[in-house]
């Protein structure tokens, strides 16, 4: 399982920098539609798969469709008020775990009347509908200066380097545990598939709720303190599962685990305003590449660790989260809109466009 997840995350990582450059040159709405449309074929590939290796092409295509994540983040940043940047990122990204809240419940109910293969056909229909919906969102054309000279942007300050370290470290730490939590419930707690699905739905609900609440808190209070709070809550949930080993107590505890990704959405809001003169999406491309590589390494490492001792991830991930919480708390003080932007000090140039003027969101 760790290898399969790593392959998917690697495909996603390789698409981030090209996606960032495309987001500087082309209309964001068009890129969102193309990426969503690429997610339509994978359910059909899963439908016809007969072995685990048969699903790999679908996984790769589904993850490569995420090339538009830089455009997605740039779209949020472009539509958000500066004083509500973290809230907008939190609310928008909360939609993904909110969908996962219902999908396991619907899937488990449908399995009583149909097969897994036929559920993939329903997934195909949902992806098609979601792609059509994007045709009705407001366009965001590329900025004139971005079209003329796009650039691939690396960290130019200590704050930016810290942000990159945080995003990569949080992705690595979380992916060590995330893919294997359901397996732990099955192997260590002897829970059945239906109970595991309910726990997964509750964890996703926690992800949605904390993404919204922590986003709002970051706009009103300390950004770093908010990020540290989210990591602390998730660590408490992971440690609680290990210590209690009680199926009943797992339900409220799993809700806390869902807060793990919310601090990264706050970090995205910082990234969107951290440097004046940065291109609209070029910065996202590089940072999200390193973050995705964290997912690659973490999921592969998590698979190895799980085979050695399933409980290992409940020590490594919380310990890493606590260290990252200290890093965030000390590095990002103040509210999101009050964090000073760094002036541009130079960039690495590639043959495309760059916004050379300061941007305020």
SS3 150: strand
Check whether 136 has a pLDDT greater than 50: yes
Tell me which residue has tokens 């380097």.
161
Query: pLDDT by residue (tens digit) across 276-310?
Result: 767 767 678 889 989 999 998 998 899 899 999 99
Query: pLDDT by residue (tens digit) across 184-238?
Result: 999 888 888 778 888 888 999 999 999 999 999 999 988 999 999 999 999 999 9
Average pLDDT over residues 47-59: 85
pLDDT for the residue numbered 347: 41
Q: How far is CA 312 from CA 2, 170, 241, in A?
A: 15, 17, 12
Burial category of 234 from C-beta neighbours within 10 Å (exposed 0-12, middle 13-18, buried 19 and up): buried
Query: pLDDT by residue (tens digit) across 230-283?
Result: 999 999 999 999 888 887 888 889 999 999 999 999 999 998 877 776 776 767
Q: How far is CA 260 from CA 174, 209, 217, 232, 238, in A?
A: 7, 12, 16, 9, 10
Domain ranges of the chain: 2-136+150-337
Residue 238 near residue 177, CB atoms below 8 Å = yes
Query: pLDDT by residue (tens digit) across 68-121?
Result: 999 999 899 888 776 788 899 999 999 888 888 888 778 777 877 888 788 899
DSSP characters over 124-184: HHHHHHHHHHGGGSPP-PPPHHHHHSBEE----SHHHHHHHHHHHHHHHHHHHHGGGHHHH
pLDDT for the residue numbered 352: 37
Tell me which residue has tokens 């709070």.
229
Q: Give the span between the Cα atoms of 84 and 39, in whole angstroms.
A: 30
Q: For residue 12, what are the contacts with CB-CB under 8 A and spacing of at least 6?
A: 63, 64, 66, 69, 292, 295
Q: Looking at domain 2-136+150-337, which of 1.20.1250.20, 3.30.300.30, 1.10.3720.10, 3.40.50.2000 is its CATH number?
A: 1.20.1250.20
> pTM to 2 decimals?
0.82
Q: How far is CA 143 from CA 6, 116, 172, 242, 275, in A?
A: 35, 45, 33, 50, 17
Q: Give the span between the Cα atoms of 33 and 35, in whole angstroms.
A: 5
């Amino acid at each position: 399982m760790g290898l399969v997840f790593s392959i998917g995350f690697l495909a996603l990582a390789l698409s981030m920098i090209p996606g960032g450059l495309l987001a500087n040159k082309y209309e964001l709405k068009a890129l969102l539609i193309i990426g969503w449309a690429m997610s339509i074929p994978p359910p059909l590939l899963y439908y016809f798969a007969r072995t685990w290796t048969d699903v790999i092409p679908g996984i790769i295509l589904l993850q490569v469709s995420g090339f538009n994540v830089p455009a997605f983040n740039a779209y949020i940043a472009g539509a958000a008020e500066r004083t509500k940047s973290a809230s907008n990122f939190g609310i928008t990204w909360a939609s993904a775990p909110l969908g996962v809240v219902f999908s396991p419940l619907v899937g488990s109910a449908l399995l009583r009347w149909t097969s897994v293969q036929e559920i993939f056909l329903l997934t195909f229909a949902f992806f098609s509908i979601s792609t059509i919906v994007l045709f009705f969102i407001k366009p965001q054309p590329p900025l004139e200066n971005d079209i003329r000279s796009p650039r691939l942007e690396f960290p130019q300050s200590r704050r930016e380097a810290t942000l990159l370290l945080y995003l990569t470290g949080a992705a690595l730490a979380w992916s060590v545990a995330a893919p294997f939590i359901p397996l732990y419930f099955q192997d260590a707690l002897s829970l059945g598939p239906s109970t595991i699905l309910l726990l997964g739905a509750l964890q996703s609900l926690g992800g949605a709720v904390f993404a919204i609440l922590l986003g709002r808190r970051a706009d009103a209070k300390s950004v770093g303190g908010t990020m540290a709070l989210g990591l602390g809550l998730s660590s408490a949930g992971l440690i609680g599962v290990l210590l209690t080993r009680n199926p009943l107590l797992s339900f409220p505890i799993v809700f806390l685990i869902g807060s793990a990704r919310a601090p990264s959405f706050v970090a995205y809001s910082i990234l969107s305003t951290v440097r004046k003169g940065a291109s609209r999406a070029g910065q996202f491309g590089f940072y999200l590449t390193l973050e995705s590589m964290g997912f690659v390494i973490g999921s592969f490492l998590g698979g190895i660790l799980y085979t050695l001792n399933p409980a290992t991830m409940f020590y490594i991930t919380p310990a890493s989260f606590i260290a990252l919480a200290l890093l965030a708390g000390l590095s990002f003080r103040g509210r999101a809109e009050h964090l000073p932007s760094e002036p541009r000090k130079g960039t690495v140039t590639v043959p495309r466009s760059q916004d050379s003027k300061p941007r305020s969101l």
